[in-house]
Amino acid sequence: MSYNKLWGNSMIRPHRLLKLYLLWVFHKGPKCGYDIKKELEEITEHKALSNAVIYLRLKELERKGLIEGSQGSRNKTIYTITAKGDEELERERVKTRHYLLKFQDLLEFVLDAPIGGTDHEST
């Protein structure tokens, strides 16, 4: 099965999960890109995304008016969520929860299915 058939238009594609994560982080409070990278490294046991991926996503969220950047100390850009970003966060949470529940049902079906005695065995 191809990647596109599996994920299709679902809201749980990796770039959408990053969007959800970033909006959630900024909902909790202002942060710079470096702080986000460090948090992601901690969460993923040092398998975080590249700086380029993170900063491209931050610029995209800023361009869409979901976050705002302001100059902080040492030329760091500090990002905060906007009212539009808070609304988008809530929509993304609802959509993602919906899709995750669908995948949970599928995974439970597959993981709970008996393995022995399948129809394809020769008798």
Number of domains in the chain: 1
Residue 1 falls inside a structural domain: no
| 3-state SS string for 79-113 | EEECHHHHHHHHHHHHHHHHHHHHHHHHHHHHHHC
Read off the CATH number of the domain in which 62 is found.
1.10.10.10
Q: Can you give the residue range of the structural domain that contains 40?
A: 12-108
Model confidence, pTM: 0.72
Ordered per-residue pLDDT tens for the chain, 123 residues: 444 444 455 545 667 788 999 999 999 999 999 999 999 888 888 777 788 989 999 999 999 999 999 998 888 999 999 999 999 999 999 988 888 887 787 788 888 888 876 555 554
